């Protein structure tokens, strides 16, 4: 049986504070993308932003194909972190262009997935 003293209570409170701080920092990512776009004077219509998202996902798909021998060895899957970062940047840029709060959109999607499961018991989008 474990007991928690004042030091343990303080430790748990500290973890909660750090968790809140990390959440606040994550929410600033969309703002960082917006700042980069403004600083570099990159103003692109939403349709082109979407094409950029699709192109970045295509780069990821190409890397999956190459590293898995076009699907023949799924255990060989290897993805470069920068490719995933490029896709995230493009998606956040699209959110910014459409005036969508990416954090709120992700929270809504998480709630949807957490509240539903498919007929086989796995998470399902319901759409």
Average pLDDT, whole number, for the chain? 82
Q: Is residue 114 part of a domain?
A: no
The whole domain housing 96 covers 7-103
How does DSSP classify residue 48?
H
Q: Is residue 109 part of a domain?
A: no
Look at residue 108 and tell me if it is in a domain: no
Tally the domains of the chain. 1
Structural domain includes residue 111? no
Question: Which carries the bigger pLDDT value, residue 109 or residue 10?
Answer: 109
Residue 33 has pLDDT above 90, yes or no: yes
* Within-domain flag for 69: yes
The whole-number pLDDT of residue 18 equals 66
Chain segment 36-50, per-residue pLDDT in tens: 999 999 999 999 999
10 is written with which tokens?
Answer: 């303080």
Looking up residue 76, the CATH number of its domain turns out to be 1.10.287.1080
Residue 83's pLDDT is: 93
Is the pTM value of this prediction over 0.75? no
CA atoms within 13 A on the CB side of 112: 10
- Looking at the domain assignment, is residue 11 inside a domain? yes
């Amino acid at each position: 049986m474990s007991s928690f003293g004042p030091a343990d209570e303080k430790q748990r409170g500290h973890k909660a504070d750090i968790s809140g701080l990390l959440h606040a920092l994550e929410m600033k990512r969309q703002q960082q993308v917006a700042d980069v776009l403004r600083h570099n004077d990159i103003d692109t219509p939403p349709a082109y932003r979407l094409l950029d998202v699709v192109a970045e996902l295509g780069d990821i798909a190409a890397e999956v194909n190459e590293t898995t021998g076009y699907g023949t060895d799924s255990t060989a899957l290897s993805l470069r972190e920068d490719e995933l970062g490029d896709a995230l940047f493009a998606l956040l840029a699209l959110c910014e262009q459409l005036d969508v709060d990416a954090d709120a959109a992700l929270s809504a999607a998480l709630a949807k997935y957490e509240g539903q499961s498919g007929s086989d018991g796995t998470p399902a989008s319901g759409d």
